[in-house]
Structure 1
Amino acid sequence: MKNKYPLFCLFLLGIIVTSQAQSHKTENIFLITLDGMRWQEVFAGIDPLLLNDTTVLADPSELTNLFWAKDKAGRREKLMPFLWNVFKKEGQIYGNRAYGNLVDNANKLWFSYPGYNEVLSGFADDERITSNDKINNPNVTFLEYLNQRDEYKGKVRAFGSWDVFPYIINAERSGIPVNAGFTTATNPSETEKLIARLQSEIRGPWGEVRLDPFTHHFALETIKDEKPSIVYIAYGETDDWAHGGNYEQYILAARQTDQYIQELWEYIQRDAKYADKTTMIITTDHGRGVDASSWTGHGARIPEAGQIWMAVIGPDTQAQGEMKKKGQWQSAMLARTIFTLLGLEYPDESAAPEIKEMIN
């Protein structure tokens, strides 16, 4: 039987599509990663096994005074108070395996370049991304796809402490400005000149990773001056202090990064471009296994080093706090989720599906 009302049906479909497009309030995305930050500390705070390990801490008194509490909820709030006061009340936090809320890498290599490729491109590529070498990423990231669109062209910025990020994002092909490693700002302001000078004078312990304060403040100044719509910030100290077996600095770096995230979110809420129009997502590139004795490492040789976590806050995400729903999520799902939050279709069919729970 022929449809007697074809024009009405098309009209109704148009209303539905328009309504769905208007329902998305997100116009800006801030993606933040903490390199190698364990889910164990995120959900339980400072680790008692490591706190009492004299090979890790000769004197645990400072960390005890700052971060110890009798229960896990108290310890995690002392370690990451912004996450556990603001995200818990207004956003969503995934990855507490005590509830069967599982977040994992899709890749099976469990180290940085494969992890970042997965987060940014939407899928694992264990055949081609097999090292941390400075090789341009053959995959197109969601950042590059957005930078190709007229409404976001020139409004995508990336910052990282690790000097491999220009290759992970493929700055050469994508045209995205990437301030990473020991680079400085182009056409710097007076503040950025000071940051660059301090970066050259304050030498961290690593040759390929700068200290996170420089990454953070370069990012913050660019956000204030240029008002980019899509911002990616990759903090790196948690991973490097962990590799060095320095649990005290690992913990202090996590606490500092939580403060940086707070500073960013509070600025977002004060600025007319960003307030009530910005979604912030936080995650990590890989885990560090489940055994406290091997917390300094990761990669396929460390059992369960693909166990990770993530959090989200924004105008299109229902406030559910700590997610206790049983299920399996992956960091590969974030790329398509970000496009959906922006009201867009992801252009790569091979990318993982969106995280429906993050989208009203």
Structure 2
Amino acid sequence: MKIKLLLHIILLGFGVTAQHSKAENIILISVDGLRWQEVFEGPDPLLNKDKKYWSETALNARQKLMPFFWETIAGQGQLYGNRKLGNKVNLRNEYWFSYPGRSETLCGYYDPKVDSNGYPNNPNENVLEFFNRQDGYMGKVVTFASWDALGRILNRDRNGMLVNLPGEDVEGDGLTQAQQLANEIQHFVLEYFGECRPDAITFALAKAYMQAKHPKVVHIDFADTDNYGHSGDYNNYLDAAHFIDGMIANLWETVQNDSFYKNKTAILVYPDHGRGIGEKWTGHGTSAPRSDETWLVALGPNIAHLGEVSDEGQIYQDRIAQTAASLLGMFFKANHPVGEKIQGITE
């Protein structure tokens, strides 16, 4: 990755990477169980039956599937994890499923005791509550999640942060019409996946809150890709990825048209784990080989315009939390060790 880092330094010298020395706000987005293969290669031709996103080349197919990733982020940000180029992102934890993956990412730490999706309140401090303790950030750190386990993963009982879960309305005086509508709609959708709500509802609640309250740290946890993956519905799995790409594009447009956020907001997007390959694409965990393989994208102020990072290198997911802190000019300390920041993303 030395060539990319040198390019980063040169670009900084010419002042083309950003309009601010650091971000003031950050949006962290988790995309549950979306494989790097679809992100970097487009739909698997052996699984994709309706050919909605089909193209003669993988480069065109991936752009049809995730146009915001491959037009805006590829032009203005960074994408890590194309293993065909030797650029690797992996989980540090040995379990390769949801609670441990999210805990590792948000805490910057692999705790071997966190070994179940039913694990109780997480004893490990996360980067969101760290942000919430900093001057100017208290009460301005929020999570909107499609999966109800995020309440335990982030241990909202301990830190009191707003962690909005499926079925929960956003409360408070003076809710905007958009917030009221988002609250209402979530009670009129079918429950296809039990403890999860559709990502579109999570998106609507998060966007309406951002427009009304202007939080400085927004964490959004999407789940549709994993749910459709487990159900073996590859076509809807692809649609879910496509719609998530569209929702991230919509958020970026919202950010760039709001003076509170414009040119002052970074975005990091990543999964909590990968998936198996071949007939095991529907699962993850140790029974689905290679589901520890993940990816990462970054966009925003002071993030060099490297596009698809093609240099050989290895990133582990426990480095994302410190990277997020570094983008805001902070150093994340917790009640446990924390992985170091990713040098290619921050200075």
Same-fold call, TM cutoff 0.5: yes
Larger gyration radius, structure 1 or structure 2: 1
Question: Which is worse superposed, 174-183 or 137-146?
Answer: 174-183
Distance of 2:20 and 2:234 partners within structure 1:
45
Instruction: Tell me the equivalent position of 2:265.
Output: 278
Letter in 1 for 2:80: Y
Instruction: Tell me the equivalent position of 1:113.
Output: 99
Distance of 2:196 and 2:109 partners within structure 1:
25
Instruction: Tell me the equivalent position of 1:164.
Output: 149
Instruction: Tell me the equivalent position of 1:236.
Output: 223
CA RMSD after TM alignment: 1.3
* Greater RCO structure (CA 8 Å; 6+ sep): 2
Distance of 1:354 and 1:211 partners within structure 2:
32
Instruction: Tell me the equivalent position of 1:141.
Output: 126
TM-score by length of 2: 0.91
Instruction: Tell me the equivalent position of 1:333.
Output: 319
Alignment coverage as a number of residue pairs? 326
Distance of 1:225 and 1:194 partners within structure 2:
13
1:220-279 Cα distance to aligned partner (Å, 9 max, x none): 000000000000001100000100001111010000000000000011111111111111
TM-score by length of 1: 0.88
Query: In 1, are the aligned partners of 2:20 and 2:263 still within 8 Å (CA)?
Result: no
1:168-220 Cα distance to aligned partner (Å, 9 max, x none): 11111111101112211112433333223222121131110001111000000
Query: In 2, are the aligned partners of 1:163 and 1:182 still within 8 Å (CA)?
Result: no
User: Is there any run of 5+ residues in structure 1 with no aligned partner, and where?
Assistant: 1-21, 52-59
Instruction: Tell me the equivalent position of 1:315.
Output: 301
2:185 to 198, 202, 206: 198
Distance of 2:216 and 2:20 partners within structure 1:
19
2:57 to 71, 94, 98: 71
- Give 1:207-286 correspondences, 5 Å limit: 207-286=194-273
Runs of 4+ residues over 3 Å off in structure 1: none
1:67 aligns to what SS in structure 2?
coil
Letter in 1 for 2:153: I
Letter in 1 for 2:146: S
Query: In 2, are the aligned partners of 1:164 and 1:181 still within 8 Å (CA)?
Result: no
2:46 aligns to what SS in structure 1?
helix
Query: In 1, are the aligned partners of 2:93 and 2:100 still within 8 Å (CA)?
Result: yes
1:49 to 41, 46, 51: 46
Instruction: Tell me the equivalent position of 1:19.
Output: none
2:158 aligns to what SS in structure 1?
helix
Query: In 1, are the aligned partners of 2:20 and 2:264 still within 8 Å (CA)?
Result: no
1:359 aligns to what SS in structure 2?
coil
1:215 aligns to what SS in structure 2?
helix
1:175 to 160, 173, 191: 160
Distance of 2:43 and 2:35 partners within structure 1:
11
Query: In 1, are the aligned partners of 2:91 and 2:294 still within 8 Å (CA)?
Result: yes
Query: In 1, are the aligned partners of 2:36 and 2:293 still within 8 Å (CA)?
Result: yes
Distance of 2:107 and 2:87 partners within structure 1:
23
Query: In 2, are the aligned partners of 1:24 and 1:343 still within 8 Å (CA)?
Result: no
Letter in 2 for 1:355: I
Instruction: Tell me the equivalent position of 1:33.
Output: 30
1:89 to 47, 51, 75: 75
Instruction: Tell me the equivalent position of 2:8.
Output: none
- Shift, 1:23, TM fit: 7.0
Query: In 1, are the aligned partners of 2:176 and 2:212 still within 8 Å (CA)?
Result: no
- Shift, 1:336, TM fit: 0.7
Query: In 2, are the aligned partners of 1:157 and 1:230 still within 8 Å (CA)?
Result: yes
Query: In 2, are the aligned partners of 1:24 and 1:341 still within 8 Å (CA)?
Result: no
Instruction: Tell me the equivalent position of 2:136.
Output: 151
1:89 aligns to what SS in structure 2?
helix
Query: In 2, are the aligned partners of 1:105 and 1:308 still within 8 Å (CA)?
Result: yes
Query: In 2, are the aligned partners of 1:162 and 1:209 still within 8 Å (CA)?
Result: yes
Query: In 2, are the aligned partners of 1:32 and 1:234 still within 8 Å (CA)?
Result: yes
Question: Which is worse superposed, 346-355 or 96-105?
Answer: 346-355
User: Is there any run of 5+ residues in structure 2 with no aligned partner, and where?
Assistant: 1-18
Instruction: Tell me the equivalent position of 2:170.
Output: 185
Letter in 1 for 2:233: N
